[in-house]
Copies of this chain bind each other. A is one copy, B any other.
Amino acid sequence: MEKDLCQISCVNRPLVEQVLKALPDEPLLCGAAEIFKMLADPNRLRLLHALTQEELCVCDLAALVDTSASAVSHQLRLLRTARLVKYRREGKMVYYQLDDEHVAHLLQEGLRHAAED
């Protein structure tokens, strides 16, 4: 690594060291990246946006994004393991909702910034 060039010449070492110290540690950065990764797909954004309004079952969500129930189920598993949604079983049906308001907040922030391009 770092073999490409300018090992000694142009790097402002002290400044880099300083900035480096202020960086959040590895697990926190990766955790944040994981959350953003979940938000990095239009279909998942649709699902999450829908869940900001209503609790919905898998079939509803599949109809909403116009794909197979299987595909949605896979997506929901990702969102579940990332703690962005939680679910509730009622008979045969499983109803999903957002895990907390942070999710809705982040989503809204992203949409706002995308709008004022």
Contact = CB atoms under 8 A, between A and B. Distances in A.
A36 to B, nearest CB: 4
Interface string A71-85: 000000000000100
Interface residues of A, number: 68
A54 B22 CA distance: 11
Chain A contact residues: over half helix, strand or loop, or mixed? helix
A12 B60 contact: yes
Given A106-B113, A114-B28, A45 B33 contact: yes
Nearest to A100: B113
Contact of A68 (B4, B33, B35): B4
Given A63-B16, A102-B113, A45 B70 contact: no
